[in-house]
Amino acid sequence: METTDFEQKKSLWILLRSFSPAQRQILPRLLTKKDRILLLIFFTTFIISFGYGVRSLANQYSVPIPTGGGSLREGIIGIPRFINPLLASSDADRDLTALVYSGLLRNDGKGELVPSLADRYEISDDGLTYTFYLKDNLYWSDGTSLGVDDILFTLSLVKDPNYRSVLRPNWEGVTAEKNDDKTVVFKLTKPYAPFLENATMGILPKHIWHDVLATEFSLSEHNLRPVGAGPYRVVSFEQNATGRISSYMLEPNPRYMPHPPYIKTLEFVFFTSAVELQDAYQSGLIDSASIPGMITLPPSDASSVLSLALPRIFGVFFNQNTSKALADEAVREALTYAANRAQLVESVLQNQGVPISTPLPLKTSTSSLPFDLSASTEILTRAGWVDSDGDGIREKEINKAAVPLSFTISTSDAPDLVATARLLQEMWRAAGADVRLSIFEIGDFEQDILRPRKYEAILFGEIFGFDPDPFAFWHSSQRNDPGLNIALYTNPRADMLLEQARTQIERAEREKTYLEFQNIVNEERPAIFLYSPYYHYKFPSAVHGLGITRITNPSDRFGSIHEWFIKTKNQWAL
């Protein structure tokens, strides 16, 4: 009876195992060519089957987990100037600052403030004392130990008016004390409801900045070559032929707590316009970007676009000290009715936003003002603004001099703002106003126009926190730089309400106070509020772990970037 091939192989395997090592060495010489081929086939089949079995077992009883690796190239409109939490004023500045620096707390991207440098914190019953306990083994990215002295140093710079920090208003009336190397206590003179958001401020390293004078602070090289305790550290940056920064390269900070980021390389590429950014994305030069309303993406990309509503308000703010026409309340009221907000949202934002006619992003708010050109022209005529020479521009005699209804809107070269300004120019021309436009590169705009308050009207945006606090935008103490009261607004009652709201812990009570403040501003019309755009963030489908659901400004998207990952590895399930 003939045996099968399988039985022959089995017998051969049993026979082989019975041989001594010396016998196995001479075995090949004893086998026929056919036997050697059969033996080779057997061993090859065995190895393949064993490998497949191990792989199947691993897939069945293991799970993929994030691991280090991969790279992300992100495009940004604008040029970084201040990678410094005390000075950052543009999206480019804030994005890099959020990656390089850490605060006591951070926004986790889901609307929660969670510990970062702090391990935990306590709040006294009266809301006047906040005690933060630092984590163990905190270090700057250069290896220097980080402690309470760095926090006290940073706060001293914020509170010193000579350093001109945009964050100074949030720290008025706050003192800090060192209990020990790991415990810092903040004491407030009166309750301040949004104080925990202050604790997200990035901390500066004292050993880097302590010799930098106030007059040199904004000019220091450390603003472009920062050392922080954030998830990433700067490796290098490149400049083009004109000296403009074109890109930044970052790598994980190995000392970041709770763990270094997974994505190995971040490259930020900077563009001067939305058109440049869109071209770079479509040609594959960048993987991700914050998307202005004027950029369109292929429908296939919609699944990897994050869309969120942010507490931002854009509007035209008036400097009544520089324009006789804008100093007339009737003119400001007429311009309010002549602004077609719905058209702006549709044309400029591609319906990716909502019309706004109030100074605060409150859920409980007064109704939006309608577009009414006839009401606008009637208000102007009744107030004495008429087109006496038939040139389409209204005039009025003020102090025996003919004053034309004419003014200039200044804004940056951001595409959404330029498009908005041009539409407003047409809308207000229809009401009889001669509106001129002055467009500036963002750096020149901030330095030469915004800060010295050299404008008649300015088209700009305001960014609020989770708990809107408009103090810095509207309190009379903030009229001069670095304050953000760009309408140079002054009203004692409004000041009192802003101060009062900060001390009200109950949200409902605070919102009631803000509504009264809002009504005062709406009556006096120091600005015309236009819209609040949605925020869109395009990211590649290969990036996982974002978990972003609620942020207050675009840079908050990086609050949990240490959890983002591209690469994975298998780990046995427990």
Residue 80 and residue 205 in one domain = yes
Return d(Cα 184, Cα 177) in angstroms, integer.
Answer: 6
Return d(Cα 323, Cα 118) in angstroms, integer.
Answer: 49
Q: What are phi and psi of 454, to 5 degrees?
A: -100, 75
What ranges in 120-228 are assigned the alpha helix state H?
Answer: 148-159, 195-198, 206-209
Residue 297, domain member (yes or no): no
Residue 90 and residue 160 in one domain = yes
Residue 255 CA: distances (Å) to CA of 10, 142, 219, 292? 57, 9, 28, 34
Residue 439 and residue 518 in one domain = yes
Return d(Cα 386, Cα 392) in angstroms, integer.
Answer: 9
Residue 325 and residue 367 in one domain = yes
Tell me the three state secondary structure of residue 398.
strand
Residue 256 and residue 363 in one domain = no
Lowest mean pLDDT among 9-18, 39-48, 239-248, 527-536: 9-18
Residue 116 and residue 193 in one domain = yes
419: nearest Cα among 343, 524, 525, 323? 343
pLDDT digits (tens, 9 = 90+) for 53-91: 656 665 666 678 899 999 999 999 889 999 999 999 888
What is the pLDDT at residue 570?
A: 79
Q: Pairing between strand 71-77 and 288-290?
A: parallel
Which domain-ending residue is among 26, 41, 65?
Answer: 65
| Strand residues in 450-538 grouped as ranges (E) | 457-463, 527-538
Residue 299, domain member (yes or no): no
What is the pLDDT at residue 307?
A: 86
Q: What is the DSSP string of 21-80?
A: HHHHHHHHHHS-HHHHHHHHHHHHHHHHHHHHHHHHHHHHHEEEEEES--EEEEEEES--
Higher pLDDT pick, 421 / 18:
421
Which domain-ending residue is among 14, 36, 65?
Answer: 65
Residue 169, domain member (yes or no): yes
Q: Which residues pair with 421 in a beta bridge?
A: none
Whether 196 contacts 552, CB under 8 Å:
no
The amino acid at residue 197 is: E
Residue 524 and residue 544 in one domain = no
pLDDT digits (tens, 9 = 90+) for 541-566: 899 999 999 898 899 999 999 999 99
Residue 205, domain member (yes or no): yes
Higher pLDDT pick, 297 / 364:
297
409: nearest Cα among 437, 431, 434? 437
Residue 81 and residue 227 in one domain = yes
281: nearest Cα among 74, 80, 77, 91? 74
pLDDT digits (tens, 9 = 90+) for 496-532: 999 999 888 888 899 899 999 999 999 999 999 999 9
Residue 367, domain member (yes or no): yes
Residue 135, domain member (yes or no): yes
Whether 361 contacts 515, CB under 8 Å:
no
State which H helix or E strand residue 498 sits in.
helix 492-503
What ranges in 141-253 are assigned the alpha helix state H?
Answer: 148-159, 195-198, 206-209
293: how many CB neighbours lie within 10 A of its CB?
Answer: 23
Q: Provide mean pLDDT across the span 262-276.
A: 91
What is the pLDDT at residue 369?
A: 77
Side-chain-side CA neighbours of 349 within 13 Å: the count stands at: 20
CA angle 378, 383, 389 (to 5 degrees): 80
Residue 128 and residue 162 in one domain = yes
Side-chain-side CA neighbours of 249 within 13 Å: the count stands at: 8
Domain residue limits at 48? 5-65
Residue 232 and residue 338 in one domain = no
Which domain-ending residue is among 65, 90, 106?
Answer: 65
431: nearest Cα among 334, 298, 326? 334
CATH number of the CATH domain containing 320: 3.10.105.10
Residue 421 banded pLDDT, cuts 50, 70, 90: very high
Residue 443, domain member (yes or no): yes
Handedness of CA 333, 337, 339, 345 (dihedral sign): positive
pLDDT digits (tens, 9 = 90+) for 351-377: 889 999 999 986 544 456 789 999 999
Q: Which residues of 509-519 are buried (b: 16+ CB within 10 A; e: fewer)?
A: ebbebbbebbe
Q: Provide mean pLDDT across the span 416-424.
A: 95
Residue 102 and residue 238 in one domain = yes
Q: Provide mean pLDDT across the span 160-179.
A: 92
**In the numeric block, which tokens belong to residue 91?**
């999206």
Cα distance between the two ends of the chain = 52
What is the pLDDT at residue 524?
A: 96
Tell me the three state secondary structure of residue 309.
strand
Residue 529 and residue 557 in one domain = no
What is the total count of domains within the chain? 3
Residue 294, domain member (yes or no): no
Q: Which residue has the tokens 């699944």?
A: 303
